[in-house]
Amino acid sequence: MSNLLEVQNLSVKFPTRNGIFEAVRNISFSLGRERLGIVGESGSGKSLTGRAILRLIKKPGILEADHITLEGTNLLQISKKAMRRVRGHKISMIMQDPKFSLNPVMRIGDQISEAYRLHARASKKDARKKTLDMLEKVLIRDPERVFRSYPHEMSGGMGQRIMIAMMLIPDPKILIADEPTSALDVTVQKEVLEIMDDLVRERGMGLIFISHDLNVVSAFCDRVLILYAGRIVETCRADRLHEAKHPYTIGLLNSIPRLEQPVEHLQVLQRDTAWNLEPSVSGVVADGETPS
């Protein structure tokens, strides 16, 4: 397995009145053609990690890393203009709520073809054809109608499929999905995840799946990084998540109520201040190695 992306010693800091706050501290990981899950609670730095890869940390936030390498290019050293070519073209990102990421006053078809034409230099006609194909691929039954619709006419699940179509149409190498299904109902969640999964596999892409939901991540990803207070406390294979060793991961898993195993009282996570001081675990898998 060759690595698409390598991140070394990434930190995201914010200056505050009481000194510098480190939201992400020295984390390293790699991404191959796999589905990598990043889980953690709110404030653990998981979304910032996703944004940092695309250099989307706004000032006064500070982004530091030894390198963020995409196919041999260090993304930290290229110009802003070159970075814009990377976004969407090489790495694209799906956000949590489609309501806020689609342009409300632009027809869906136009938005998707715009995404395509920005990166592919195609004629309007070709772009339209490609867009309709793509809408079909995300299992939208009536692509012609959706093409002409505005975002407010769509449900949450449809909106998220449209986002997936838009993000995949320039054929990126990596997709970062930041809580893509958290705003959706459970039954719709499954459908959207399956669509995303199929397309990502089919194209041999790398997927970074950011979520707070341990169940979804363990069912859907290959490998998981568990973030706590800006550091990776544990990495493991997703299907072995229930064998996790770090007390934080175990605590999180135990605090979820389960349908089949009723308990009188849910276990409450006891946080240990020592966790804040532990060094980050590396999430790097070297080329050719299989993750254990």
* Interface ranges with other proteins (CB under 8 A): 41-42, 156, 185-190, 212-216, 218-219, 239, 242, 251-252, 255-260, 262-269
CA distances from 288 to 73, 240, 284 (A): 20, 21, 12
Minimal distance in Å, beta carbon 72 to other proteins? 35
CA separation for the pair 185, 156 (Å, rounded) = 9
Residue in 227, 239, 240, 243 with CA at minimum distance from that of residue 281: 227
- What DSSP designation does 55 have? T
Minimal distance in Å, beta carbon 199 to other proteins? 20
Minimal distance in Å, beta carbon 129 to other proteins? 34
Q: Encode 239-271: b = buried (16+ Cβ within 10 Å), e = exposed.
A: eebeebebbbbbbbbeeeeeeeeeeeeeeeeee
User: Which residues, 6+ apart, have CB-to-CB distance to 188 below 8 Å?
Assistant: 155, 156, 157, 181
CB closer to other proteins, 68 vs 252: 252
CB closer to other proteins, 56 vs 219: 219
CB closer to other proteins, 67 vs 275: 275
Encoded tokens for 252: 């999180």
Minimal distance in Å, beta carbon 42 to other proteins? 6
Minimal distance in Å, beta carbon 127 to other proteins? 33
CB closer to other proteins, 20 vs 256: 256
User: To which H or E segment does residue 167 belong?
Assistant: helix 156-168
CB closer to other proteins, 82 vs 266: 266
